[in-house]
Structure 1
Amino acid sequence: RQHDHAQADALRYAITLLYLETKLNKRPALLERIGEHLDRLGTPERDMLQAPETLQALAEAYTDTIGTLPQRVRVVGDPQFLKPRESANRVRALLLGGIRAARLWRQVGGRRWHLLFRRRRLLDSCDALLRR
């Protein structure tokens, strides 16, 4: 049962991120602002990707751009763990990464309905990639 809830949450997050990506794609100024944030951040070394400063910069990029859109991602979890600034920064950085993944998904022809009707095929492909 808990596994079913986790899958439903993951699907809801994915669909919401795909929706936000379409809204973001219609706002070139926001896309440019994300680029500016990322340019300021530069390319962190692999071991610095989870550094508090890196996560804060990515969280700010999310908050200043995607966070201004009317639709929000409703993150489910224990507020005790989600409230601290470090956790909120990590979640926002991951959401920014999710928006990037949604953009790449669209660029290769992915659509929201594919997640619903081709889920088994997508999961099998992911498993095959992970086994490599």
Structure 2
Amino acid sequence: MSAVTLLTGAQVLRLDEAGVEVRAVVDPAAPVFDGHYPAFPILPGVFTLDTVHQAVLRHADEQQGVVPVLEEVRSMRFFSPVFPGDVLSVDCVITCADGVRDVRARCGTDRDKTATLRLRYRDPA
């Protein structure tokens, strides 16, 4: 089984020491929508988590040339749905100290805030 890629062509709006901001169109033709509430398709929350994760990996690679490991999902709260065709924006504030990256992410669409996440990563030894 191959991985589902919904956010191909994600656009980086900002990438600096403080964090990263990306946005991408959620592909309405992605097969995940076939089985996730067929009469009312919404993006499964795990894809929001993956979008944040990919942004953090890109930030770590650009800033320090490392691939950190997701160590902990400290919190993940969902506020409103993401629909097929929406533009999902992810803004991550990243604090690095002693090989640990604390991430606070805010996700949203043009309509509303959709989720907040707090993640912890550890740089490889």
- Normalising TM by the smaller chain, what interval? under 0.3
Query: TM-score of the superposition, structure 2-length normalised?
Result: 0.25
Greater C-alpha radius of gyration: 1
Q: Which has the higher helix share?
A: 1
The higher relative CO (CA closer than 8 Å, separation ≥ 6) is in 1
Q: Which has the higher strand share?
A: 2
